[in-house]
C-alpha cells in the first residue's frame, strides 16, 4: 500500500491537532542515550523515523516503550550493548546524531554514514571538526565513522555554517566533556533549543541555545528526566497551513507555537492568506485570490527549506510569476518535475526556480522523491482536478503521523490504494 490517492477539489475546513516535532524528537532520543536514569518523553509523533530510532536505541541496550498515545519511556543502558546497525542507521539521517552522545558517554561510537532523503550532498565535516576539537579520534572505515576518546575536554568551535546537526552533535558531546565548550555561529532552529532544554532537564549546563553562541559547562554524568514534552512540529503545521491555502479553505491548527512559524506566516500573508494567531494555534483563511511571492530558504529564522516544496506546489496555481531560491539543499527541486507532470509551469536553473502560475493542476500518477516532495505532491493533489496517485509514500510516512486521517478530518478525499476501509471512508474506489 505504498500509494496515496487523492480526488482533488475539496476546500479544507475544520480543526486539526499538530503532533510533536520529528526533528526535535529524533535529537532528544539520541540525547537520551547519554542519560543514566529513566526518561519520559511526551508529545512524540508515532512516525516511521521515530520507530526506527527507537529500534536503534533498543539495539544499543536501552529499554524503550510507548506509554499511551504519544509518550515514550526510555530506560537507558548502563553499557553499550552494540553499535547502531547499518540496516537501521541508513534509514534515517538523524542516526548521525548518535556519534556525539555515544563517544561522550561510552568513549566509543561507530555510526554508518547516514541515509535519509536524497536532497543534497550533506557532508558531516562540521560535526567532525567539533568532535575532534573536543578530543575525539575519528576514522572512516567501510562507510562508517568510528570515534573513540578517553575523556573529552571543553573547546572552542566555530561552525562555518550554522548546521543544525553539527550544532546538536557537538552540543550533546560537550555536555559530558571536562570544562567549558563554546560553539560559535550555531543553528538557532527551535529544535536545537528544545534539545538544549531537554539536556538541561537531564542535568546538563547548556546556555545560549537560540542565539549565535552556545556555551556548555561539562558535567560528569547526566541523570534522567521525569517528564519532558517535545515541541510541536512546525513543518507538519506549515504543511497543513499551505494545504489549507492551496484548497482556498479555512482551517484552525491546534497545539502549535505560532512564533516558530513566523517566517512561513509572513510569506503566506504576503501571498494574501488571512492568518489569525492565537496562543497555541492559528486560523488560516484563504478564500480570496492569492498573489505571487518570492522565497529564499535560509537557516532559522529564515524561511525553512523543509517548507520549500510545499510552497512550490501552492504557488504553481497562483496567477503571476513566483521565484524560489533554495540555499540549503541543492537537490530539493526534484519535485518540480513531478509538479510539471500535473500541469505546473516551473523552470529550474541551479538553485532558482521560476514558477508561472497556471489556472489548474490535473491529477495523474506522480512519485515522491523525498519527504517534503511527497508532502508537496499531497498539496498539489488536494487542489488538482481529478485523481492524483502518489507512489513512494514511505517517504511521507517518515515524517507525518496519520496524514491522510488528519486530512480526511478536514474534508479531503484521500486514501491509501488497496485499503478498502480508508477508500470507503474517503468516498473513493
Residues 64-103 that bind ligand PEP (CB under 6 A): 92-94
DSSP letters, 2-24, are -EEEEE--PPPEEEEE--B-HHH
Residues 375-404 that bind ligand PEP (CB under 6 A): 399
Exactly one of 28, 53, 64, 126 binds ligand UD1 (CB under 6 A); that residue is: 126
Report helix, strand or coil for 363: coil
Residue 222 near ligand PEP by CB under 6 A: no
Residues 82-121 that bind ligand UD1 (CB under 6 A): 93-94, 120-121
Q: Is 372 annotated as a binding residue?
A: no
**CA distances for 114 relative to 37, 42, 118, 392, angstroms:** 28, 26, 11, 20
Q: At 250, give phi and psi (nearest 5°).
A: -145, 110
Residues 339-368 that bind ligand PEP (CB under 6 A): none
Smallest gap from Cβ 94 to ligand UD1, in A, equals 4
Residue 45 near ligand PEP by CB under 6 A: no
Q: Is 63 annotated as a binding residue?
A: no
Residue 371's binding partner out of ligand PEP, ligand UD1, none, with CB under 5 to 8 Å set by partner kind: ligand PEP
Q: Is 183 annotated as a binding residue?
A: no
Residue 299 near ligand PEP by CB under 6 A: no
Whether the Cβ atoms of residue 372 and residue 118 lie closer than 8 Å to each other: no
Query: Given the complex with ligand PEP, which of 50 and 204 has the nearer CB atom?
Result: 50
297 CB-near residues (< 8 Å, 6+ apart): 303, 304, 305, 308, 324, 325, 326, 327, 328
Q: Exposed, middle or buried: residue 242 (CB in 10 Å: 0-12, 13-18, 19+)? A: buried
Is 148 considered catalytic here?
Answer: no
Question: What are 222-225's contacts with CB under 8 Å, separation 24+?
Answer: 222/34, 222/35, 222/36, 222/175, 222/176, 223/35, 223/36, 223/37, 224/35, 224/36, 224/37, 224/38, 224/39, 224/76, 225/35, 225/38, 225/39, 225/40, 225/41, 225/198, 225/201
Smallest gap from Cβ 114 to ligand PEP, in A, equals 8
Q: Is 306 annotated as a binding residue?
A: yes
Smallest gap from Cβ 132 to ligand UD1, in A, equals 12
Residue 264 near ligand UD1 by CB under 6 A: no
The residue count for binding ligand PEP (CB under 6 A) is: 10
Residue 260 near ligand UD1 by CB under 6 A: no
Binding residues for phosphoenolpyruvate, as ranges, are: 22-23
The residues carrying an active-site annotation are 117
Binding site for ligand PEP (CB under 6 A): 92-94, 116-117, 119, 306, 371-372, 399
Q: Which residues are annotated as a binding site?
A: 22-23, 93, 122-126, 306, 328
Amino acid at each position: 500500500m505504498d500509494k496515496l490517492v487523492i480526488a482533488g477539489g475539496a476546500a479544507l475546513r475544520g480543526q486539526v491537532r499538530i503532533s510533536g516535532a520529528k526533528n526535535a524528537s529524533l535529537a532528544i532520543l539520541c540525547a537520551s542515550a547519554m542519560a543514566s536514569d529513566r526518561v519520559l518523553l511526551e508529545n512524540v509523533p508515532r512516525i516511521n523515523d521515530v520507530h526506527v530510532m527507537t529500534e536503534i536505541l533498543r539495539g544499543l541496550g536501552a529499554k524503550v516503550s510507548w506509554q499511551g498515545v504519544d509518550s515514550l519511556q526510555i530506560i537507558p543502558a548502563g553499557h553499550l550493548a552494540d553499535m547502531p546497525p547499518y540496516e537501521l542507521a541508513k534509514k534515517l539521517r538523524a542516526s548521525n546524531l548518535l556519534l556525539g552522545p555515544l563517544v561522550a558517554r561510552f568513549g566509543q561510537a561507530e555510526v554508518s554514514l547516514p541515509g535519509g532523503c536524497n536532497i543534497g550532498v550533506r557532508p558531516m565535516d562540521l560535526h567532525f571538526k567539533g568532535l575532534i576539537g573536543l578530543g575525539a579520534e575519528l576514522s572512516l572505515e567501510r562507510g562508517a565513522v568510528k570515534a573513540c576518546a578517553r575523556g573529552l575536554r571543553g573547546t572552542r568551535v566555530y561552525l562555518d555554517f550554522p548546521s543544525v546537526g553539527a550544532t546538536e552533535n557537538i552540543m550533546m558531546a560537550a555536555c559530558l566533556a571536562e570544562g567549558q565548550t563554546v560553539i560559535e555561529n550555531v543553528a538557532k532552529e527551535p529544535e536545537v533549543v528544545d534539545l538544549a532544554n531537554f539536556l538541561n532537564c537531564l542535568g546538563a549546563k547548556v546556555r545560549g541555545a537560540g542565539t549565535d553562541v552556545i556555551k556548555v559547562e561539562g558535567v560528569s554524568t547526566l541523570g534522567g528526566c521525569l517528564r519532558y514534552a517535545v515541541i510541536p512540529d512546525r513543518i507538519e503545521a506549515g504543511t497543513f497551513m499551505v494545504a489549507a491555502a492551496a484548497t482556498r479553505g479555512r482551517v484552525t491548527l491546534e497545539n502549535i507555537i505560532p512564533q516558530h512559524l513566523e517566517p512561513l506566516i509572513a510569506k503566506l500573508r504576503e501571498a494574501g492568506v488571512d492568518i489569525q494567531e492565537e496562543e497555541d494555534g492559528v486560523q488560516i483563511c484563504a478564500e480570496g485570490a492569492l498573489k505571487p511571492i518570492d522565497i529564499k530558504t535560509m537557516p532559522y529564522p529564515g524561511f525553512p527549506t523543509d517548507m520549500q516544496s510545499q510552497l512550490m506546489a501552492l504557488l504553481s496555481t497562483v496567477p503571476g510569476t513566483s521565484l524560489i531560491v533554495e540555499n540549503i539543499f541543492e537537490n530539493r527541486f526534484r519535485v518540480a518535475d513531478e509538479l510539471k507532470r500535473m500541469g505546473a509551469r516551473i523552470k529550474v536553473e541551479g538553485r532558482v526556480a521560476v514558477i508561472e502560475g497556471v489556472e489548474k493542476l490535473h491529477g495523474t500518477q506522480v512519485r515522491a522523491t523525498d519527504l517534503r516532495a511527497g508532502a508537496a505532491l499531497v498539496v498539489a493533489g488536494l487542489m488538482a482536478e481529478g485523481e492524483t496517485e502518489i507512489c513512494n509514500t514511505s517517504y511521507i510516512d517518515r515524517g507525518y503521523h496519520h496524514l491522510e486521517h488528519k486530512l480526511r478530518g478536514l474534508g479531503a478525499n484521500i486514501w491509501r490504494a488497496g485499503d478498502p476501509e480508508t477508500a470507503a471512508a474517503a468516498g473513493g474506489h
